[in-house]
């Protein structure tokens, strides 16, 4: 029997095993099973000397069987109505050339005594254990030398060096069982068609698909394993890039409602600005203005460090759309941020946000806020303003994505702080417009090149590289938590800032109280400091007499909003908060930030946090308080953050240190099952080359008609994303 990749596993490995593979790992076909790749390869231990075995070590020993004695064990007590199950233990004594011995044990495998006859030499591979003070190997794998072996040394080498695939396993399906199924499938597999375009395969000297499947599961050598991985990664990269490039190409020809440059409300706004635009704002603004005026939807990513003035760029884009009868929606990741955007947009617009009110300018519009916590009545009023088009600008959290939110004429979607949203959410909002709206995605998290190419591979990119003039530098220092003097100095600095009329943040990793949420990972360190405890300690201790405020994610929206307003109004001196203040919060009078247990935060997170200070005309100060000892990896990360404010450098470093899954987060959901081997970190070259090839491929043949097998893979990936969208 020969089988193809679409053969059902039940026809190949039997119904029972197939059911376990399906239930435990979601594998239904031979193709599914063969793309369940090993996550590592155990090498049988180097050949060990029987004189120097250490408990726990994986070893391979070359030895001769001296005796093999099956011993019956007391039977397992029978279950009612069943017969007792017989059990036995086979003990095999083997000795090396020096006569040193070790015992091998096999449970219920008495038949092996027929193979392991005294006098035979073999290699035995397993983990060294101990029983009653004697070293032993439990159920070691073995290969016996032919009784007439001409070159024992060669056999020894081959066996000891072999790769043993280790699979992601489940309780019911240990790795060796999966390996067994894979072997059966590979033995039956007829050479599968190769989905990669032949030209690309030969240009990059890629192994054929069938060979790659064999080599990734049962590598013949280190080299062939490398070649197999490269080939399979290439396929993943090319499918992903082709999907993104195609999506981009398709989006580029969709019709959009043109919103010409300028317009009364934008011109009035520009005239009212108290400062000149930075060069970057002008340049990026012009790019965006051109695209909004075009007949096809804009899909642009705007990167710029915290405080670089992205929001202003976005607002000007929104006004251009509003000036021509459209609406703009701004999607923010948290209620705090949505509330703040709403406030600051209304403030920046002044009278221009008072559309419909007496005495407001002709060109004025309204700015609506829609979050999950609005009361039913508020919500109804807001929805009406959105539906009638009265509200030109609508700010909200993902509540904006829900059904029941209808726009009069949605012309522009601005997504703030994109790393919290995925492609899918973007799509959900865009689907609320009759014609595809323009999309502007803003992120303050600098994005390493490969991530930009994959997660945002369907967007054009703009960057704001300089901060507005008059922006103040932020000095960052690491403070050892256990040093009393330094800690005292830290709180004195906070008091000095407050005495000078300014404000400060104190950030802790945890809320405290009943919560068990822990951002620091489950180890035996003390629990991370909590804002609810810290505020009490500070109030009665080093910050006695100052006006302290508390902000964290478990407060209800109204309370959060009240606290943020009070802080923005200068009625609170020191805000003790969790990372809810991480993104976008803007209080220019805040100049100092103390981050406690700083090593519990990621590099990018620290950088984001510190961007909350130094936003006004006074220099910022950020103190990273930590117990991490000098020379540890944690301390190195903090030192890195202290040493530079270059967000891009820090983002690259962050990517290196974090698990890629975290980096991609929701942004890649729906594509996960398609990217198994490819690493955004290590496979930069493959991703770049695949991108270039995908562009060429789709330019020459937009629907990839000449490569149906490859096109089918691209469709699969796109469909999985679509499915995620419906579920989400
Ligand atoms: P981002 O969203 O990129 O973090 P914001 O748009 O919130 O930055 O801008 C931060 C602050 O800088 C705001 O108070 C904003 O009014 C101010 N700002 C923006 N552009 C300029 C500029 N060209 N000159 C001076 N201040 C500016
Ligand atoms: Mg912002």
Instruction: Write the CB contacts of 137 (distance below 8 Å, at least 6 apart in sequence).
Output: 59, 61, 102, 103, 104, 105, 124, 126, 127, 128, 129
Residue 141 reports pLDDT greater than 90: no
Query: Which CATH number does the domain 474-644 belong to among 3.40.50.300, 3.20.20.70, 3.40.50.1100, 3.40.50.800?
Result: 3.40.50.300
Give the per-residue pLDDT at 171. Answer: 66
Give the per-residue pLDDT at 618. Answer: 87
Give the per-residue pLDDT at 162. Answer: 67
Give the per-residue pLDDT at 654. Answer: 76
Instruction: Write the CB contacts of 204 (distance below 8 Å, at least 6 apart in sequence).
Output: 234, 689
Consecutive H or E run containing 367: strand 366-370
Q: Residue 331: what are its φ and ψ, rounded to 5°?
A: -105, 120
CA–centroid distance for 151 within its chain: 51
**Plot region of 198 (φ>0 → left; ψ -120 to 50 → alpha; else → beta):** alpha
Which residues fall inside 5 Å of ion ligand 2, going by CB?
Answer: 311, 584
Angle at 312 between CA 570 and CA 579, to 5 degrees: 50
Scanning the structure block, which residue is given the tokens 């991530």?
451
Closest by Cα among 638, 633, 564, 579 to 611: 579
Instruction: Name the residue at shortest CA distance from atom 13 of ligand 1.
Output: 309
Dig out the tokens for 234 from the structure. 């290439």
Dig out the tokens for 364 from the structure. 């004025």
Give the per-residue pLDDT at 374. Answer: 80
Please determine whether the domains at 42-76+84-150+160-166 and 474-644 fall in the same fold group of CATH: no
Angle at 265 between CA 260 and CA 269, to 5 degrees: 115
Angle at 588 between CA 582 and CA 591, to 5 degrees: 80
Most confident listed range (178-182, 271-275, 443-447): 271-275
CA dihedral over 45, 46, 47, 53, signed as positive or negative: negative
Q: How many angstroms is it from 442 CA to the middle of ligand 2?
A: 8
Give the per-residue pLDDT at 329. Answer: 95
More confident residue, 501 or 558: 501
Say what the alpha-carbon torsion angle 652, 656, 662, 663 is, to the nearest 10 degrees: 20
pTM of the model: 0.64
Assign 186 a pLDDT band (cuts: 50, 70, 90).
very high
C-beta of residue 66 within 8 angstroms of C-beta of residue 101: yes
Atom of ligand 1 nearest to the CA of 308: 3
Dig out the tokens for 180 from the structure. 């067994």
Residue 723 reports pLDDT greater than 90: no
Scanning the structure block, which residue is given the tokens 């407060």?
555
Residue 669 reports pLDDT greater than 50: no
Write out residues with Cβ below 6 Å of ligand 1: 275, 277-278, 281, 304, 306-312, 444, 468, 586, 588, 615
Strands 40-43 and 299-304: unpaired
Closest by Cα among 75, 117, 67, 55 to 91: 67
Q: Give the bridge partners for 367, in sequence order.
A: 393
Atom of ligand 1 nearest to the CA of 348: 16
Summarize the confidence of residues 449-457 as an average pLDDT: 72
Q: Residue 584: what are its φ and ψ, rounded to 5°?
A: 70, -10
Q: How many angstroms is it from 345 CA to the middle of ligand 1?
A: 12
More confident residue, 50 or 694: 694
Give the per-residue pLDDT at 725. Answer: 40
Ligand sitting nearest the alpha carbon of 417: 2
Residue 298 reports pLDDT greater than 60: yes
Residue 597 CA to residue 600 CA, distance in Å, equals 6
Residue 166 CA to residue 175 CA, distance in Å, equals 6
Give the other-Cβ count within 10 Å of 634's Cβ.
14
Least confident interval from 180-184, 500-504, 723-727: 723-727
Summarize the confidence of residues 258-286 as an average pLDDT: 94
Q: Give the bridge partners for 218, in sequence order.
A: none
Instruction: Tell me how many helices (H) and strands (E) the chain has.
Output: 24, 21
Question: Any idea where the domains of the chain sit in the sequence?
Answer: 42-76+84-150+160-166, 264-464, 474-644
Give the per-residue pLDDT at 152. Answer: 59
Dig out the tokens for 281 from the structure. 């704002």
Ligand sitting nearest the alpha carbon of 586: 1
Give the per-residue pLDDT at 663. Answer: 45
**Plot region of 81 (φ>0 → left; ψ -120 to 50 → alpha; else → beta):** left
Assign 176 a pLDDT band (cuts: 50, 70, 90).
confident
Residue 350 CA to residue 387 CA, distance in Å, equals 23
- 376-432 confidence digits (pLDDT tens): 898 899 999 999 999 999 999 878 877 678 899 999 999 886 555 555 666 666 677
Residue 325 reports pLDDT greater than 80: yes
Dig out the tokens for 320 from the structure. 């251009």
Least confident interval from 44-58, 298-312, 373-387, 574-588: 44-58
The CATH H-level (homologous superfamily) assignment of domain 42-76+84-150+160-166 is Nucleic acid-binding proteins (2.40.50.140)
Q: State the DSSP code for 3.
A: B
Residue 156 CA to residue 60 CA, distance in Å, equals 10
Q: State the DSSP code for 354.
A: B
Give the per-residue pLDDT at 673. Answer: 63
Summarize the confidence of residues 164-168 as an average pLDDT: 78
Q: State the DSSP code for 418.
A: G
Ligand sitting nearest the alpha carbon of 466: 1
Count of alpha carbons within 13 angstroms of residue 480, beta-carbon side: 6
Closest by Cα among 352, 351, 341, 346 to 395: 341
CATH code for residues 264-464: 3.40.50.300
- 246-268 confidence digits (pLDDT tens): 988 888 888 999 999 999 999 99
Least confident interval from 73-77, 293-297, 628-632: 73-77
% of the chain surpassing 70 pLDDT: 87
Counting ligand 1 atoms within 8 A of each CB, the residue from 312, 446, 588 with the most, and so the one to mutate, is: 312
Average pLDDT, the chain: 85
Instruction: Name the residue at shortest CA distance from atom 10 of ligand 1.
Output: 307
Most confident listed range (216-220, 390-394, 558-562, 599-603): 390-394
Say what the alpha-carbon torsion angle 706, 708, 714, 715 is, to the nearest 10 degrees: 120
Angle (deg, nearest 10), helices 708-727 and 222-252: 70
Q: How many angstroms is it from 530 CA to the middle of ligand 1?
A: 31
Q: How many angstroms is it from 466 CA to the middle of ligand 1?
A: 11
Q: b/e for 240-267, b at 16 or more Cβ within 10 A?
A: bbbbbbbbbeebeeeebbebeeebbbbe
Least confident interval from 133-142, 428-437, 683-692: 428-437
Residue 363 reports pLDDT greater than 50: yes
Give the per-residue pLDDT at 103. Answer: 93
Residue 726 reports pLDDT greater than 60: no
Please classify residue 99 by burial: count the beta carbons closer than 10 Å to its beta carbon, then call 0-12 exposed, 13-18 middle and 19+ buried: exposed
Least confident interval from 457-461, 516-520, 642-646: 516-520
């Amino acid at each position: 029997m020969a089988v193809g990749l679409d053969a059902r596993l039940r026809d190949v490995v039997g119904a029972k095993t197939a059911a376990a593979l399906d239930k435990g790992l979601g594998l239904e076909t031979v193709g599914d099973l063969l793309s369940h790749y090993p996550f590592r390869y155990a090498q049988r231990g180097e050949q060990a000397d029987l004189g120097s075995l250490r408990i726990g070590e994986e070893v391979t020993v070359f030895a001769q069987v001296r005796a093999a004695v099956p011993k019956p064990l007391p039977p397992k007590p029978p279950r009612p109505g069943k017969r007792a199950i017989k059990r036995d233990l086979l003990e095999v004594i083997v000795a090396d050339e020096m006569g040193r011995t070790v015992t091998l044990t096999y449970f219920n495998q008495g038949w092996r005594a027929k193979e392991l006859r005294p006098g035979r030499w073999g290699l035995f591979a397993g983990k060294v254990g101990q029983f009653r003070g004697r070293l032993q190997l439990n159920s070691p794998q073995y290969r016996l030398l032919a009784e007439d072996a001409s070159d024992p040394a060669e056999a020894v080498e081959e066996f000891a060096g072999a790769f043993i695939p280790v699979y992601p396993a489940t309780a019911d399906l240990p790795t060796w069982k999966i390996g067994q199924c894979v072997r059966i499938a590979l033995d039956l597999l007829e050479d599968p068609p190769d989905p990669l375009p032949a030209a690309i395969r030969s240009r990059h000297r890629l192994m054929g698909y069938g060979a790659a499947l064999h080599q990734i599961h049962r590598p013949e050598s280190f080299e062939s394993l490398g070649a197999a991985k490269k080939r399979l990664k290439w396929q993943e990269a090319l499918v992903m890039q082709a999907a993104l490039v195609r999506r981009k190409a398709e989006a580029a020809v969709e019709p959009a409602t043109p919103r010409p440059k300028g317009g009364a409300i934008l011109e009035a706004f520009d005239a009212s600005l108290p400062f000149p635009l930075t060069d970057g704002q002008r340049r990026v603004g012009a790019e965006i203005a051109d695209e909004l005026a075009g007949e096809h939807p804009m899909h642009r990513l705007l990167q710029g460090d915290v405080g670089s003035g992205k929001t202003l760029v976005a607002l000007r884009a929104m006004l251009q759309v509003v000036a021509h009868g459209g609406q703009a929606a701004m999607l923010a990741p948290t209620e705090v941020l949505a509330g703040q955007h709403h406030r600051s947009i209304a403030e920046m617009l002044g009278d221009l946000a008072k559309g419909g009110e007496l005495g407001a300018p002709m060109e004025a519009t309204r700015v609506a806020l829609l979050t999950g916590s609005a009361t039913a009545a508020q919500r109804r009023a807001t929805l009406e303003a959105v539906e009638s088009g009265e509200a030109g600008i609508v700010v909200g959290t993902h509540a904006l994505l829900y059904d029941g939110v209808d726009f009069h004429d949605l012309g522009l979607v601005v997504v703030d702080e994109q790393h919290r949203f995925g492609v899918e959410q973007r799509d959900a909002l865009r689907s609320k417009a009759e014609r595809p709206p323009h999309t502007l995605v803003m992120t303050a998290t600098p994005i390493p090149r490969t991530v930009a190419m994959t997660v945002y591979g369907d967007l054009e990119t703009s960057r704001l590289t300089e901060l507005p003039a008059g922006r103040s530098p932020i000095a960052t220092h690491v403070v050892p938590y256990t040093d009393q003097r330094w800690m005292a100095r830290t709180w004195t600095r906070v008091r000095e800032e407050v005495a000078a009329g300014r404000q400060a943040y104190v950030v802790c990793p945890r809320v405290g109280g009943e919560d068990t949420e822990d951002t620091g990972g489950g180890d035996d360190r003390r629990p991370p400091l909590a804002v609810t405890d810290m505020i009490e300690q500070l109030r009665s201790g080093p910050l006695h007499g100052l006006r302290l405020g508390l902000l964290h994610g478990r407060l209800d929206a109204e309370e959060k909003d009240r606290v943020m307003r009070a802080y923005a109004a200068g009625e609170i001196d020191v805000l003790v908060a969790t990372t809810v203040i991480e993104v976008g919060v803007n209080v220019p009078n805040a100049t100092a930030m103390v981050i406690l247990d700083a090593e519990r935060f990621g590099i990018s997170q620290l950088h984001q946090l510190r961007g909350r200070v130094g936003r006004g005309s006074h220099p910022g100060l950020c103190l990273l308080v930590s117990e991490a000892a000098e020379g540890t990896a944690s301390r190195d990360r903090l030192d890195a953050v202290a040493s530079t404010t270059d967000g891009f450098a820090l983002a690259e470093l962050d990517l290196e240190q974090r698990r890629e899954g975290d980096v991609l987060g929701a942004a890649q959901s729906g594509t996960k099952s398609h990217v198994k081997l490819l690493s955004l970190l290590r496979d930069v070259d493959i991703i770049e080359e695949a991108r270039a090839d995908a562009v060429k491929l789709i330019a020459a043949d937009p629907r990839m008609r000449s490569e149906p097998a490859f096109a089918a893979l691209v469709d699969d990936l796109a469909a999985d994303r679509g499915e995620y969208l419906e579920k989400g």
